[in-house]
Structure 1
Amino acid sequence: MNNNSSDVQKKIDTVITHTGRHPKSFHGFVNPPVVHASTVLYPDVETMVTGKQTYSYGRRGNPTTDSLEEALTEMEGAAGSKLANSGLNAIALAILSCVKSGDHILIADTAYGPTRHFADTVLPGYGVAVEYYDPGLGDGIRSLFRPETTAVFTEAPGSLTFEMQDVPAIAAAAHDIGATTLMDNTWASPLFCQPLSLGIDLSIQAGTKYIVGHSDVMLGTIAASERAWEKLDTFCGAMGSHVAPDDVYLGLRGLRTLSVRLERHQRNTFTVLDWLKDQPGIGKIRYPALESDPGHQIWKRDFTGSSGLCAFDFRKGTTRDEAYSFLNALKFFGLGFSWGGFESLAIPVRLNGMRTVNQPEDDLQSVRLHIGLEDPEDLIKDLDQALKQALK
């Protein structure tokens, strides 16, 4: 059987299970080998000088890295995919592949904090002008374009605030001026959103999160459209970008269960939030899959599911000490900055001061939650006892 046959239209669960696997090439083994290699030998000098061999040097790829890149390319509907050492590394490589000195890049004001740090500390040093835009602009982003605008970086939903944006409208406007469009799609993963189908050129994932799924590997991925693939491939090769085969293999392992894990994350999150919304100490819940969320209609149009990452604000008047007391009282929710693994996590969030275009009106105490794979009733009991201890 050819796992990559295009004679039938495969549904996403089948793609996740089969793509990137070639048992006939590896003596029938279901998974590809974990290839540890730097030097690759040639049968003769003629093959060496003509380059007529699949693999030339470890940095340029091997059967392990090819398997994951092939799987991601099919899932994303891309022309090609590249791996990176982390989500942030993937963001940096993707941006640098499409900007140069003298260019202007627009970045969503709700972007991931380390993305903003990279943009503010690295890009200006290379002569790239950075400007943040209101994610609610949609087609109105045209008003910010300059003759030198070459890239627009989106993230949906936005980091910490979970604001949605009209990605197809923004992408269409950007393409009208020949700009490259990028999107951090880590929240939904390629399972629940395919950015390239929305007009995005470079779809970026922190594979550390849901693709790996087990809190044990750092990994980034970039899937490119036809118009962006050549530049991305050339740039990543020139930068010597390469991911260790053991990490790639663990990414492949996680990918095979992505669908069943995200289904559970999604179900657990709805159960927990349905309880949380009725608690007296809770204000706004931030999760675009909820009908009450301001971005729900865009989410419903562009996404096919949701993940376990969400946030909520405490009621007005809640102090920082009370918010911290709540977090310290949690038993099943660990205090950790990552997410996407099997475990539930929580971090404090202060929304005021994190934006440069539109500041939140209220300086509220907020918490970001990652709802893991535990029994949701246990998670609810944990949140309940922590709220009762903190908000007396």
Structure 2
Amino acid sequence: MSSDANCLPFHPETVAVRGGREISDYREHSQSLHLTSSYTFESAAQAAAMFLGEIDGYTYSRFTNPTVSAFQQRLAAMEGGERAIATATGMAAIQATMLTFLKTGDHIVSSQSLFGSTINLFNGVLSKFGVEVTYVDAANLDAWRAAIKPNTRLFFLETPSNPLTDMADIAAVAEISCAAGALLVVDNSFCSPALQQPLQLGADLVVHSATKYLDGHGRVMGGAVVGSDKLIEQVYLHVRTTGPTMAPFNAWALLSGMETLHLRMEKHSSNALQVAKWLEQQPAVARVFYPGLPSHPQYALAQKQQRSGGAIVSFEVKGEREAAWRVVDAIQMISRTANLGDVKSTLTHPASTTHARITPEARQKAGITEGLLRLAVGLEHVDDITRDIARGF
């Protein structure tokens, strides 16, 4: 089994297509799918050497599989990292990162606008093991500094955030975390490496819900952590032991999705910008949240930090939950689902779905109102998307 070159000298679009391919003796052109739980050895000595890590090879698909390896190598190259480790889901990636680098008595500083499950992980799971979290406004650098404690070990942020597209200056936060001796972990699920590369801006680790734009077609779930070989080796040992690993079939599907990532994100962003501009003109809409709009409070940062605005447009309708649900119920083409990252546009009401399990106080602090809707703009024609939304106005 041989591997393609890591493709780092090539343009990002080429890396997404050619990076990290594992090629067998059959010289297949497309990535092979290796559906096997275990592997055989030529001798007892070879088996012992592989399990001790003295020589390279595949032993057991919980922690070594050629298809999963290809996914890891390609994503690492796309993010500009030395290494990646794949997990079963995005939340598994975040949990593995937290449990690898944190212990009882440690402290996290986190942006306050997060995916609901991440908040539940921090507040409901890590708190059981004595890990403390302080939430701050992602854009307020003084707040990041003020939240640091002697036991702060990790900074965590989403940028853009789910669902309000709040942004943090990754390079500036990286300087603060480095000075505090803390790791900076960035959730890059919304942008993907096609639009943003946090490692190049100073982040220590990047986490992904590969379920989203890396797949891009709503087919499979997956997650990943990307960073230096030294840090990822520690995450790998945790994942190898605890088992939240990616299935080979999912890795195979994700490799296919990644080949069209740049094309898709370019069109997602173009469509989203047009939809966001249209929403700003609608009398029923109180406010639109999209990094590609000049009205976004961090528009200048988005222009500097991202290649485009991305696919997520959140907007607040006048009339609270009743009006928001009316829009959700009126759509006929757009999918009513809490997932995102699909070629198909999706619409959800965060306060009653993705963020329903956090407290009303936490939702209010994060700016998630009863009138807020999150639209993940797909690849349909913009006129069809806006006409469908207008049904609820």
Q: TM-score by structure 1 length? A: 0.92
Instruction: Classify 1:377/1:219 alpha carbon distance in 2 versus 1 (closer, same or farther; 3 Å).
Output: same
1:74 paired to 2:77: yes
Q: Which residue of 2 aligns with 1:320?
A: 321
Helix, strand or coil: the match of 1:31? coil
Q: Which moved more, 1:367-376 or 1:124-133?
A: 124-133
Helix, strand or coil: the match of 1:58? coil
Give the superposition deviation at 1:71: 0.1
Structure 2 residues not aligned, in runs of 5+: none
Instruction: Classify 1:322/1:111 alpha carbon distance in 2 versus 1 (closer, same or farther; 3 Å).
Output: closer
Distance 1:268 1:377 in 2: 10
Q: Which residue of 2 aligns with 1:87?
A: 90
Distance 2:241 2:10 in 1: 35
Q: Which moved more, 1:190-199 or 1:348-357?
A: 348-357
Give the superposition deviation at 1:349: 3.7
Helix, strand or coil: the match of 1:306? coil
Question: May I ask how many residue pairs the two structures share in their alignment?
Answer: 382
Counterpart of 2:279 in structure 1: which amino acid? L
Contact 1:271 1:376 in 2 (8 A): yes
Percent identity over paired residues: 27
Distance 1:307 1:199 in 2: 21
Counterpart mapping for 1:175-194 below 5 A: 175-194=178-197
Distance 1:167 1:109 in 2: 15
Counterpart of 1:375 in structure 2: which amino acid? H
Q: Which residue of 2 aligns with 1:10?
A: 10
Describe the superposition over 1:218-250 as per-residue Cα deviations: whole angstroms up to 9, x where unpaired.
111110235522322222222223211111111
Distance 2:361 2:116 in 1: 8
Q: Which residue of 1 aligns with 2:391?
A: 385
Instruction: Classify 1:102/1:298 alpha carbon distance in 2 versus 1 (closer, same or farther; 3 Å).
Output: same
Instruction: Classify 1:279/1:36 alpha carbon distance in 2 versus 1 (closer, same or farther; 3 Å).
Output: same
Counterpart of 2:343 in structure 1: which amino acid? F
Q: Which residue of 1 aligns with 2:28?
A: 29
Distance 2:274 2:143 in 1: 37
Q: Which residue of 2 aligns with 1:255?
A: 258
Helix, strand or coil: the match of 1:340? coil
CA RMSD of aligned residues (A): 2.2
Instruction: Classify 1:19/1:313 alpha carbon distance in 2 versus 1 (closer, same or farther; 3 Å).
Output: same
Counterpart of 2:362 in structure 1: which amino acid? R
2:157 to 140, 154, 157: 154
Structure 1 residues not aligned, in runs of 5+: 388-392
Give the superposition deviation at 1:256: 0.7
Instruction: Classify 1:226/1:176 alpha carbon distance in 2 versus 1 (closer, same or farther; 3 Å).
Output: farther
2:126 to 123, 126, 145: 123
Describe the superposition over 1:265-289 as per-residue Cα deviations: whole angstroms up to 9, x where unpaired.
1111112222221111112110111
Instruction: Classify 1:245/1:53 alpha carbon distance in 2 versus 1 (closer, same or farther; 3 Å).
Output: same
Counterpart of 2:44 in structure 1: which amino acid? V
Describe the superposition over 1:94-126 as per-residue Cα deviations: whole angstroms up to 9, x where unpaired.
121111111111121001110000111111111
Instruction: Classify 1:217/1:2 alpha carbon distance in 2 versus 1 (closer, same or farther; 3 Å).
Output: closer
Give the superposition deviation at 1:140: 4.2
Q: TM-score by structure 2 length? A: 0.91
Contact 1:208 1:220 in 2 (8 A): yes
Distance 1:125 1:180 in 2: 22
Counterpart of 1:40 in structure 2: which amino acid? Y
Contact 1:196 1:225 in 2 (8 A): no
Distance 1:5 1:221 in 2: 18
Contact 1:283 1:313 in 2 (8 A): yes
Q: Which residue of 1 aligns with 2:348?
A: 347
Distance 1:20 1:279 in 2: 46
1:40 paired to 2:43: no
Give the superposition deviation at 1:322: 2.4
